[in-house]
């Protein structure tokens, strides 16, 4: 490929990304034991996932087993349509997702707005409320944080592990505790722990939040 052609392609790609064109992310599960483990693909003009019901039926259900409405979240369950040897019917893969509005492209397949996480990524409050916390946007002023993980140990206690460029001051630790309490709407006891490294989970993924209490099902 000539330099001019390569430059033209790079400019075209940059323009597409700047215009919000969908990137090639997909969503799937190897647990389906299916020749086609990808169960949702990106919509053409939206950052959503659209179900691929040619080989699998995708549903998002609440705690009563009813379909979730757009804007609410629930358990992702799948039914294989082409795996005749070992069919799976409403198989719960352990993920939670938020349901999106119908895709403007005209397709009527299920739409997932966000893949939120798994049971262990839910924060649990004393009143029974469960939610998926997002704390990264609140940490932009802490530029010396290289890596962090928030770990809910109990209904009262949270460990906030950080890998830092320099030690935290007590004032900064107090500020982190206030951020967690305000973001989670509960006066947790927050213990800030400076560590050299935060290991990944057994599956190789890194989780910014996890809870020891969140295995129960939820009502959204």
Alpha-carbon gap, residue 46 to 66, rounded angstroms? 26
Alpha-carbon gap, residue 136 to 3, rounded angstroms? 40
Say yes or no to pLDDT of 24 above 50.
Answer: no
Question: Which two tokens mark 53?
Answer: 């019901």
Q: What is the mean pLDDT of residues 174-181?
A: 95
Contact 121, 61 (CB under 8 A): no
Set out the domains of the chain in order of their start, with CATH numbers.
Answer: 23-118 (2.30.38), 123-211 (3.30.300.30)
Residue 16 binned pLDDT confidence (cut-offs 50, 70, 90): very low
Q: What is the DSSP letter of 82?
A: S
Q: Please, what is the average pLDDT of the chain?
A: 79
Per residue in 50-96, pLDDT (tens digit) is 555 567 788 999 988 999 999 898 999 988 877 777 788 888 888 89
Contact 24, 42 (CB under 8 A): yes
pLDDT at 220: 46
Residue 29 binned pLDDT confidence (cut-offs 50, 70, 90): low
Say yes or no to pLDDT of 181 above 80.
Answer: yes
Residue 218 binned pLDDT confidence (cut-offs 50, 70, 90): very low
Contact 43, 105 (CB under 8 A): yes
Contact 130, 214 (CB under 8 A): yes
Q: What is the mean pLDDT of residues 95-104?
A: 85
Say yes or no to pLDDT of 161 above 90.
Answer: yes
């Amino acid at each position: 490929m000539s330099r001019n052609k390569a430059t033209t392609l790079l400019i075209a790609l940059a323009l597409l990304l700047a215009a919000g064109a969908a990137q090639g992310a997909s969503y799937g599960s190897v647990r389906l034991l299916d020749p086609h483990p990808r169960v949702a693909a990106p919509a053409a003009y939206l950052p959503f996932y659209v179900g691929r019901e040619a080989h699998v039926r995708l549903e998002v259900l609440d705690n009563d087993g009813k379909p979730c409405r757009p804007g609410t979240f629930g358990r992702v369950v799948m039914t294989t349509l082409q795996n005749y040897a070992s069919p799976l019917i409403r198989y719960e893969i352990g993920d939670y997702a938020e349901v999106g509005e119908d895709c403007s492209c005209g397709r009527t397949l299920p739409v997932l707005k966000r893949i939120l996480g798994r049971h262990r990524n839910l924060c649990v409050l004393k009143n029974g409320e469960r939610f998926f916390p997002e704390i990264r946007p609140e940490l932009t002023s802490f530029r010396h944080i290289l890596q962090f993980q928030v770990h809910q140990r109990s209904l009262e206690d949270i460990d906030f592990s950080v890998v830092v460029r320099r030690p935290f001051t007590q004032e900064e630790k107090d500020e982190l505790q206030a951020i967690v309490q305000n973001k989670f709407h509960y006066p947790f006891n927050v213990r800030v722990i400076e560590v050299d490294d935060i290991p990944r989970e057994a599956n190789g993924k890194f989780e910014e939040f996890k809870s020891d209490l969140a295995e129960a099902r939820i009502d959204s």
